[in-house]
C-alpha cells in the first residue's frame, strides 16, 4: 500500500517521490512532479498559481491513469500605474514560459507511460 512507506508501484522518472501524505488506499496512489509555482502576496496583487504533472496509475478512469497536468490559478490584482501592469505582465510571461517547459515534460511523461511499440 502507499503511505508513509512509499508507493506500491515504482515511481516514473518525473515523479518527485513525495507520497508520505497519501491515504492507505491503493486507488489513491498518485505520482506528482515538482510543481511549477508562482506566488505573490503584496498590496498590489495576490497571485497563487501552481501546475504539476500528476498520475493516478491505478485509477478506475482510464484518462486518470495517463500523466496529465493539474493546474490551479488564482489572481487578484489592483494595478494603479502602467508600470505595475507591465511588471505583472512580465511575471505572467515568465510563468507562461515555465508552463511551456512543463508541457514538454508532460509529452515525455506520456511517451514513457505508453507500452513499448512492437516492430518498426
Ligand atoms: Zn511517485
Domain boundaries, the chain: 2-113
Residue 6 φ/ψ region, left for φ over 0, alpha for ψ in the -120 to 50 degree band, beta for the rest:
left
- pTM for the whole structure: 0.79
Measured in Å, residue 95 CA sits from the centre of ligand 1 at 25
21-43 tens-digit pLDDT: 666 566 678 899 999 999 989 88
Please give the distance, rounded to the nearest whole angstrom, from the Cα atom of residue 89 to the centre of ligand 1.
34
What's the gap in Å between 83 CA and the centre of ligand 1?
A: 42
Q: How far is the CA of 103 from the centre of ligand 1 (A)?
A: 19
Non-local CB neighbours of 27 within 8 Å, separated by 6+ positions: 56, 58, 59, 60
pLDDT score recorded for residue 23: 60
- Give the residue among 36, 3, 33 at the shortest CA–CA distance from 21: 3
Q: Which of 56, 59, 51, 5 is nearest to 31 (CA)?
A: 56
Listed as ranges, residues in the chain with pLDDT below 50 are 1-3, 118-120
Amino acid at each position: 500500500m502507499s503511505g508513509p512507506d512509499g508507493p506500491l508501484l515504482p515511481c516514473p522518472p518525473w515523479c518527485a517521490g513525495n507520497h508520505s501524505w497519501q491515504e492507505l488506499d491503493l486507488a489513491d496512489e498518485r505520482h506528482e512532479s515538482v510543481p511549477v509555482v508562482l506566488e505573490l502576496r503584496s498590496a498590489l496583487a495576490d497571485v497563487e498559481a501552481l501546475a504539476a504533472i500528476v498520475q493516478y496509475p491505478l485509477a478506475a478512469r482510464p484518462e486518470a491513469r495517463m500523466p496529465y497536468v493539474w493546474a490551479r490559478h488564482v489572481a487578484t490584482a489592483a494595478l494603479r500605474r502602467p508600470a505595475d501592469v507591465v511588471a505583472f505582465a512580465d511575471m505572467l510571461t515568465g510563468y507562461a514560459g515555465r508552463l511551456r517547459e512543463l508541457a514538454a515534460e508532460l509529452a515525455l511523461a506520456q511517451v514513457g507511460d505508453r507500452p513499448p511499440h512492437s516492430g518498426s
